[in-house]
Amino acid sequence: MSKRRLFLLIGTLVVVVGVGAAAVFLLNQTQATALPGAETAMESGDGVTVETEPWYTFAPEDPASTGFILYPGARVDPTAYAPSVRGIAEDGFLSVIVPMPFGIAALGAEKADEVMEAYPEIDKWVLGGHSIGGAMAVQYTDDHTDIVDGIALWGAYPSPDDDISETSIPTVSVYASEDGLSSVKEIEDTAQYLPQGTEFVEIEGGNHTNFGLYETQDGDGVATIPAEEQQLQTMTATLELLETVDAA
């Protein structure tokens, strides 16, 4: 065997081993479990029908023409976002939380396609996400600027590779002062990659975990306001965006 072919073979083996190791790592990561309060939001009632397959769908009786899709944070139980997303549905917007492969939105960034295809009666879509889910929402938007009508970021920021600053897509970035995983500095440093008209909403005293209702994540800051208050502010900012998009 020539040296060149030997080096190619060794290189291929290194890549295969690396990919395998990464897959094992992802599979062994513990999913952040939703807290008991999220269960109540998963029950149908008060004008909202909840379905759990193939996504977590919250359907109002008389939905608006605009829908909302949420990409969860990495390895977070999707139902942890049910309280906020259900609240959005109670205001009349079909809302869908999308479970991701291995709980990683980076492995399912195109999942919004399936949701949109399943609800052809919805004319406009706002795509949102928490943490890496938000980054993937921006990535999806960068590839599909013609079908995303709004973006809602919850404790999230874009990659420089997904620069949508030249678009006019209505966007809201909700971030928290005590977030230890998506810091205020990171939000500020990457603001240049979002549309110029982006609205930035800081939740004073909030942290990364409390954008959902789940166990505190390692490395996060300590919240000084209740999780319910942070989720209410997040939901309110998102609803304002949905209403703007729906009225346009």
**Confidence class of residue 30 from pLDDT cuts 50, 70 and 90?**
low
Whether the predicted pLDDT of 7 surpasses 90? no
Q: Across all residues in the chain, what is the average pLDDT? A: 91
Residue 120 belongs to domain spanning: 37-212+220-247
**Residue 179 belongs to a domain:** yes
**Residue 12 belongs to a domain:** no
* Cα distances (Å, whole numbers) of residue 172 to 31, 137, 139, 140, 202: 27, 12, 15, 16, 11
**Residue 56 belongs to a domain:** yes
107: left (phi over 0), alpha (psi -120 to 50) or beta: alpha
Mean pLDDT confidence for 231-247 = 98
Q: What pTM was estimated for this model as a whole?
A: 0.88
**Residue 31 belongs to a domain:** no
Confidence (pLDDT) at 37: 87
Whether the predicted pLDDT of 15 surpasses 50? no
pLDDT digits 0-9 by tens, 103-148: 999 999 999 999 999 999 999 999 999 999 999 999 999 999 999 9
**Residue 176 belongs to a domain:** yes
* Cα distances (Å, whole numbers) of residue 183 to 49, 131, 132: 36, 11, 13
Determine the Cα–Cα distance for residues 140 and 131; give it in Å rounded to an integer: 15
Comparing CA positions, the residue from 13, 38, 53 lying closest to residue 215 is 38
**Residue 238 belongs to a domain:** yes
**What percentage of the chain carries pLDDT values higher than 90?**
87
**Residue 6 belongs to a domain:** no
Confidence (pLDDT) at 31: 81
Dihedral sign for Cα 40, 42, 43, 44, please: positive
Confidence (pLDDT) at 131: 98
Q: Give the angle 200-109-221 at the CA atoms, nearest 5°.
A: 45
* Cα distances (Å, whole numbers) of residue 148 to 4, 16, 137: 47, 36, 10
pLDDT digits 0-9 by tens, 150-168: 999 999 999 999 999 999 9
**Which one-letter amino acid corresponds to residue 113?**
D
Confidence (pLDDT) at 13: 45
Whether the predicted pLDDT of 27 surpasses 70? no
Confidence (pLDDT) at 23: 43
pLDDT digits 0-9 by tens, 210-238: 999 999 999 999 999 999 999 999 999 99
Q: Among 17-26, 71-80, 127-136, 143-152, which stretch is predicted with the lowest mean pLDDT?
A: 17-26
Domain total of the chain: 1
Determine the Cα–Cα distance for residues 219 and 94; give it in Å rounded to an integer: 33
Here the CATH number for the domain that contains residue 119 is 3.40.50.1820
**Residue 18 belongs to a domain:** no
